[in-house]
Amino acid sequence: MKKFFMFLAVIGLMTVSAQFQVAYAQDETTTTENVVATPAADEPTDIFAGGASDQPLHQQLKTKFIEGGAGFMATILLCLILGLAIAIERIITLSLSETNTKKLLTNVENALKNGGVEKAKDVCRNTRGPIASIFYQGLLRMDQGVESVEKAVVSYGSVQMGQLESGLSWITLFIAIAPMLGFMGTVIGLIQAFDAIEVAGDISPNLVAAGMKVALITTVGGLIVAIILQLFYNYLISKVDTIVVSMEDASISLIDLLVKYQK
């Protein structure tokens, strides 16, 4: 499933990049062939100006993307797409990992009473989720005593916990990289502004504005990506913690159940 979502992320990035390249070419043609009038000061024309605009929102975003520099903005967008792909894959996987613990324990207890350990194993094999897998590993060592079952449950529980947390480190990486790329774009924009001033030999608002715009747009882009991915990361962490608590509680209940079964 991870490979599938990564494939979708790459396809999405290629599609978005192609759209922005078309938009960039159209903007260049429009700039070359037409003279665009400067808007009045009291009529904001984009989403950052705080007012309405004749352009639709997606067109404004394309314009800001191009103005921020295709190189850095495409890299920031890549962090967002890959991070979202991993987050969605994790959400689906964790949702499928949730198990009705009380129902599972009841089924295992009934199986032990009616068919013994083998019947309980069949119940665990036919149940989805890490809790059922932990139960199955414990029941496999039932003939070695309850202590062996407890050690197997603890060991395999750690393995399942690691699988639940798989992929989260990549999300934290993208959360850290996106603002850093934005700040790097900020520094490069300032360098461009100072280069323009050096070449012109004079400080003019028109010379500084282009570099400052690149600096601010890349910074905003990186921060937005980090905020979005941070929300997904915190949600995933809370979901993992909930499943881990259920695993620990169910493991204790299983040991108590097996002790009662032996007696």
- By mean pLDDT, which of 77-81, 83-87, 97-101 is the weakest? 97-101
Distance CA 261, CA 249 (A): 18
- The predicted structure's pLDDT at residue 141: 87
Give the pLDDT mean for 5-27: 48
Residue 72 pLDDT: 72
Question: Is the predicted pLDDT of residue 7 greater than 60, yes or no?
Answer: no
Structure tokens at 155: 């060991």
At 227, is the secondary structure helix, strand, or coil? helix
pLDDT exceeds cutoff 60 at 47: no
**Torsion sign, CA atoms 214, 216, 221, 222:** positive
pLDDT of residue 59: 65
| Contacts by residues 213-216 (CB-CB < 8 Å, ≥ 24 positions apart) | 213/67, 213/68, 213/189, 214/67, 214/68, 214/69, 214/185, 214/188, 214/189, 215/185, 215/186, 215/187, 215/188, 215/189, 215/190, 216/186, 216/189
The predicted pLDDT at position 63 comes to 67
Burial (CB < 10 A; 0-12, 13-18, 19+), residue 247, is buried
Q: What is the average pLDDT across 205-234?
A: 83
Question: Contact 257/108 with Cβ under 8 angstroms?
Answer: yes
Q: What is the pLDDT of residue 58?
A: 59
Residue 87 above 80 pLDDT?
yes
How far, in Å, CA of 227 to CA of 219, rounded?
12
Whether the per-residue pLDDT at 89 is higher than 90: the answer is yes
Q: What are phi and psi of 43, to 5 degrees?
A: -125, 85
- Which of the two residues, 19 and 83, has the higher pLDDT score? 83
When computed from its CA atoms, the radius of gyration of the chain, rounded to whole angstroms, is 28
Q: What is the mean pLDDT of residues 6-14?
A: 50
* pLDDT over 90 percentage in the chain: 21
CB 61 within 8 A of CB 47: yes
What mean pLDDT comes out for the span 165-192? 87
pTM over cut 0.75: no
CB atoms within 10 A of CB 56: 9
pLDDT at residue 142, as a whole number: 85
Write down the pLDDT at residue 70: 67
Q: Given a cut of 60, is residue 102 above it in pLDDT?
A: yes
Is it the case that residue 12 has pLDDT exceeding 60?
no
Phi, psi at residue 76, to the nearest 5°?
-65, -40
Q: Which residue has the higher pLDDT, 147 or 196?
A: 147
Residue 77 CB neighbour total at 10 angstroms: 20
Residue with tokens 């390249």: 21
Which residue has better confidence, 151 or 11? 151
> Domain extents for the chain?
1-36+68-263
